[in-house]
């Protein structure tokens, strides 16, 4: 038998999965074969893929001052850049070694990632990226919008999806549901 909290989580996951699975509308607006390296999904916040993260001159022209790599590492499906990669570009860097799988505990990295995004927005613009710019990176941007911009989970997902076809994996979505529940309990503010 499910607890009340488990029922709430399951219901919310079902609602958010519907939003994330509605790619047909988003994709129908894009020209055939079009796939952006990065998209500005909220003022000053870009979500992108590994290729965007490796184009330092392009990032400088866009005014990117900070990079959050949500897929740091040398394993498959990670992006092997790092602090030294951006030294000559004067881009501040935060790397998180996360895999895109449902069992990955991304919630323990939310607070430092959100603080980094806040700092970046105070000083310029931020690229939040992972390998493809779909799951890990979008999870952090959605969490930022929930925490700092006081959006609920569905509003935050829809806001990001207005600009980029993102789909956090089901494990990340569950952790975002739990974040939303905690924010609601604490009146929108986590320490």
The fold of 37-185 is 3.90.190
pLDDT surpasses 90 at 126 = yes
Residues 6+ away with beta carbon under 8 Å from 66:
91, 92, 93, 94, 116, 117, 119, 120, 123, 124, 125, 126, 127
| Per-residue pLDDT band at 27 (split at 50, 70, 90) | very low
The alpha carbon of 23 is separated from its chain's Cα centroid by a whole number of angstroms, namely 17
List residues with catalytic annotation. 130
What are the boundaries of each domain within the chain?
A: 37-185
Matching residue, tokens 């330092």? 56
| pTM, to two decimals | 0.87
| Per-residue pLDDT band at 64 (split at 50, 70, 90) | very high
- How many C-beta atoms surround the C-beta of residue 84 within 10 A? 8
């Amino acid at each position: 038998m499910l607890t009340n909290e488990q029922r709430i989580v399951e219901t919310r996951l079902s609602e958010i999965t519907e939003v994330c699975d509605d790619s047909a509308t988003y994709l129908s607006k894009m020209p055939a074969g079009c796939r952006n390296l990065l998209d500005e999904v909220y003022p000053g916040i870009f979500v992108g893929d590994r290729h965007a993260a490796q184009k330092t001159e392009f990032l400088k022209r866009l005014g990117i001052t900070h990079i959050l790599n949500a897929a740091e590492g040398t394993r498959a499906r990670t992006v092997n850049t790092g602090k030294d990669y951006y030294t000559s570009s004067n881009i501040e860097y935060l790397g998180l070694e996360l895999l895109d799988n449902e069992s990955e505990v991304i919630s323990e990295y939310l607070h430092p990632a959100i603080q980094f995004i806040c700092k970046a927005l105070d000083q310029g613009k931020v690229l939040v990226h992972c390998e493809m710019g779909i799951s890990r990176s979008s999870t952090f941007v959605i969490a930022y919008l929930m925490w700092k911009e006081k959006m609920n989970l569905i509003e935050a997902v829809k806001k990001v999806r207005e600009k980029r076809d993102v789909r956090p994996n089901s494990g990340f979505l569950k952790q975002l549901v739990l974040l939303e529940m905690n924010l609601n309990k604490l009146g929108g503010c986590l320490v």
